[in-house]
Amino acid sequence: MIYPMAAMVLLTFAVAFTMLGARISAVKNRQVPLSYFKTYNLPADQLPERMVLAQRCYHNLLEIPPLFYVACLAAMAINATGTAMIVLAWLYVIARILQAIVHLNGNKVLWRMRAFLLSNLFLLAMWGLLVLAYTAV
């Protein structure tokens, strides 16, 4: 379970660095004043799309994925790291990677929504397996 978690951490940092690059580029190209980052007080339609997409993608990785990390840690704690759990964890990671790729490259909303839905179904299945494993203990 540590490898899928590590992959999610790497994805989160990759998106964080993408966001940083988009922000630096926006400031260098005078699309956003540096002072914007003190309060983040500009309407989204006045910001470069690339920067907004990177920021939203990054924030998405801080919303539901904590439930993934908790599920992985719980699976390790109760020794519920069977093949099904590991496969579901990797499927979750793959779906989140696909969601991030879509989000950062063209942002086709329907495709992003599908990846999001799949990732959540995989995560829900992980939690279902956890509950079953815990009640069997």
Annotated domain spans of the chain: 2-136
Q: What is the pLDDT of residue 78?
A: 97
Q: What is the pLDDT of residue 38?
A: 87
The pTM of this model reads 0.93
In order along the chain (137 residues), what is the average pLDDT of each group of 10 residues?
98 98 95 89 87 96 98 98 98 99 96 98 99 89
Q: What is the pLDDT of residue 137?
A: 66
Q: What is the pLDDT of residue 42?
A: 82
Domain 2-136, CATH number (from 1.10.3470, 2.30.30, 3.40.50, 1.20.120)? 1.20.120
**DSSP output for the chain:** -HHHHHHHHHHHHHHHHHHHHHHHHHHHTTSS-TTHHHH--S-GGGS-HHHHHHHHHHHHTTTSHHHHHHHHHHHHHTT---HHHHHHHHHHHHHHHHHHHHHHTT--HHHHHHHHHHHHHHHHHHHHHHHHHHHH-
